[in-house]
Amino acid sequence: MTVTVKKIGGSMAVVIPKTMANELELAEGTKLEISSSHAAIVLRRQGRRPRRPLAQIVAQIKPSTYRRHNRELLQDGPVGKEIW
């Protein structure tokens, strides 16, 4: 299948034919990652960030930093008309 590169504003665009868009389940607003490999342009569906186990996230928490921020928050008083 051959398509033509078109100029839109300051960018270049390639229209994906409807049959191919349907086959790949692409819809308006689908995010794609674009990269180049040698003389080829590669489009991939934008992947989600890999999920990390909660234990790994908690292991990166530095207790000393948390205590410092917690202490600062407790020292502040109400600002404005908050009701506590």
Beta bridge partners of residue 73, listed in sequence order = none
29-69 pLDDT per residue, tens: 888 989 998 889 998 888 777 788 999 988 888 777 665 55
71 vs 28 pLDDT, higher one = 28
In the prediction, which pLDDT does 20 show?
92
Q: Which two tokens stand for residue 41?
A: 């342009």
50 vs 84 pLDDT, higher one = 50
Asked if residues 46 and 56 have their Cβ atoms less than 8 Å apart, the reply is no
The whole-number average pLDDT for the span 63-78 is: 61
| Cα Rg, the chain, nearest whole Å | 25
Q: Which two tokens stand for residue 47?
A: 């992947």
Mean predicted lDDT score pLDDT of the chain: 82
In the prediction, which pLDDT does 46 show?
82
Q: From 1.20.1070, 2.10.260, 1.10.4160, 2.60.40, which CATH number describes the 5-45 domain?
A: 2.10.260
Classify 25 in phi/psi space as left (phi over 0), alpha (psi -120 to 50) or beta.
Answer: left
Beta strands 11-14 and 5-8, pairing class: antiparallel
* Domain boundary assignment for the chain: 5-45
